[in-house]
Amino acid sequence: MTGEDVGRRRKGRPRGFEPTAALDAAMRLFWAEGFEAASIDQLSRATRMPRASLYQEYGGKAGLFLASVAHYAETRIAPVAAALGPSGALGNDLSAFFQAVIALATGDAATPGCLISCVLADSAGTNAVFRAELDQRFAALEARITARLVAEPWPAAAPDRAALAAMLAAVARGIMLRARSGAAPKALAPVADAAVASVLCLRAA
């Protein structure tokens, strides 16, 4: 896209449209309703954009969804990953991470679970673009967890740190899915505690 194209799109933005606020509104709608259920009309109202402007700005519903996923990763997932530190002992950092996961998944009854683990994963199906986006988002979190694990000394017989990170990320995604179905924090916390304890046992072996 050329600078001239971008300029034309910006000139067409409707009064009241603010990119960050619009993405946040679209993100919350997709998060609550799912990709398929969120209609263009609903998205247009939520973002305060006429249908024509929405298509001009994002190329359509799928483009707006991918932009919403990126916004979610920056504003919701980044703070969760930041809880890994390192800012203390490994057990404390992993516990802080899972506490942040549970808080994100259950903090708002209107948006339970995770936009990526629940909505994007559910929508990926045969959509190659969505599948690639899902793989990228999953890999990014696993890489962040791996980086935290490799900062620690481990016994020679311990499993590969990337494999442990994938396991922890899978537990986090499972927590998100259970929250989507209505599980409360008190039901999810023991799952997180068990995951942390298993990693610490492997490190101590």
* pLDDT at residue 82, as a whole number: 97
* pLDDT at residue 126, as a whole number: 87
Q: What is the largest CA-CA distance in the chain?
A: 62
In a domain, 193, yes or no: yes
CB-CB contact of 31 with 98 (8 Å): no
In a domain, 184, yes or no: yes
* pLDDT at residue 14, as a whole number: 54
Residue 13 φ then ψ, to 5°: -65, 135
Q: Nearest CA to 22 among 65, 59, 62? A: 65
CA distance 144 to 142: 5
In a domain, 66, yes or no: no
* pLDDT at residue 1, as a whole number: 38
CATH code: domain of residue 113: 1.10.357
Helix, coil or strand: residue 16: coil
In a domain, 111, yes or no: yes
Q: Nearest CA to 122 among 183, 38, 40? A: 38
Residue 176 lies in domain: 74-204
How many domains in the chain?
1
Q: Hey, what are 193's tokens? A: 């505690």
* pLDDT at residue 5, as a whole number: 44
Q: Which residue has the tokens 């679970």?
A: 113
Return the beta strands (E) in the chain as ranges. none
Question: Does pTM top 0.85 for this prediction?
Answer: yes
Neighbour-count burial for 132-157, b at 16+ CB within 10 Å, e otherwise: ebbeebbeebbebbbebbeeeebeee
In a domain, 87, yes or no: yes
pLDDT tens, per residue, the chain with 205 residues = 344 443 444 455 555 568 899 999 999 999 999 999 999 999 999 999 999 999 999 999 999 999 999 999 999 999 999 999 999 999 999 999 999 999 999 999 999 999 999 999 999 998 999 999 999 999 999 999 999 999 999 999 899 999 999 999 999 999 999 999 999 999 999 999 999 999 999 998 7
Helix then strand then coil, in percent of the chain rounded to 5, is 75, 0, 25
